């Protein structure tokens, strides 16, 4: 896999047949559904409300200027992601938070947190090494180039006579 370096190819395996398998590409639709559900501010607010306890569809829709049908569509997206469970009792639909899928998303994000922490640690180490190195006198910068004026750039040859 990798030789201890942190390259952009970490997590890739090249099989003998020449196929490349990327261990970081997670083809699970659950992760896609989770991030799709979390992408909308209305759904995030609904989840925040559900964290306080069960709510009916009407209670979830109340803070927003949306119809019950619109709220139901948001709830269906949250259900598909596994973030809430709906119980039906007659005409009343009660929703409860199921935070389990958030763990999957947090694990996915933790990989990138570790990645960036390693990169930032390497940068910090490099900068510390440069700071600890003895200062070498800087070479004088080259003199700025100036443009010749229009008069001095003209040819000094006498004009041709016919």
Q: Which two tokens stand for residue 79?
A: 């259900």
- Which value, to the nearest 10 degrees, does the dihedral of the CA atoms of residues 123, 129, 131, 134 take? -150
pLDDT of amino acid 6: 47
Q: Which two tokens stand for residue 92?
A: 């009343």
pLDDT band at 157 (very low <50, low <70, confident <90, very high): low
Distance (Å, whole) CA 55 – CA 86: 10
Quick check: 25 pLDDT over 60? no
pLDDT of amino acid 1: 44
pLDDT of amino acid 133: 81
Q: What are 68-90's pLDDT values in tens digits?
A: 999 999 999 999 999 999 999 99
Contact 40, 74 (CB under 8 A): yes
Q: What are 88-134's pLDDT values in tens digits?
A: 999 999 999 999 999 988 988 898 888 888 999 999 989 988 888 87
Q: For residues 4 and 146, which has the higher predicted lDDT (pLDDT)?
A: 146
pLDDT band at 150 (very low <50, low <70, confident <90, very high): low
pLDDT of amino acid 149: 56
> Where do the DSSP E strands lie in 29-146?
55-56, 84-89, 92-97
pLDDT of amino acid 153: 53
pLDDT of amino acid 7: 47
Quick check: 31 pLDDT over 70? yes
At which residue do the structure tokens 């209670």 appear? 59
Quick check: 66 pLDDT over 50? yes
Q: For residues 62 and 145, which has the higher predicted lDDT (pLDDT)?
A: 62
């Amino acid at each position: 896999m990798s030789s201890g370096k942190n390259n952009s190819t970490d997590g890739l395996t090249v099989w003998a047949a020449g196929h490349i398998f990327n261990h970081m590409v997670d083809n699970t639709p659950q992760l896609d559904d989770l991030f799709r559900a979390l992408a909308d501010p209305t759904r995030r607010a609904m989840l925040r409300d559900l964290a306080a306890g069960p709510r009916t569809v009407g209670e979830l829709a109340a803070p927003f200027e949306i119809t019950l049908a619109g709220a139901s569509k948001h709830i269906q997206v949250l259900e598909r992601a596994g973030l809430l469970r709906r119980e039906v009792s007659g005409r009343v639909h009660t929703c409860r938070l199921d935070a389990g899928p958030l763990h999957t998303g947090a694990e996915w994000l933790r990989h990138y947190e570790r990645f960036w922490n390693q990169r930032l640690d390497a940068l910090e180490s490099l900068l510390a090494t440069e700071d600890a190195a003895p200062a070498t006198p800087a070479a004088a910068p080259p003199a700025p180039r100036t443009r010749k004026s229009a008069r001095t750039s003209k040819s000094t040859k006498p004009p041709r006579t016919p």
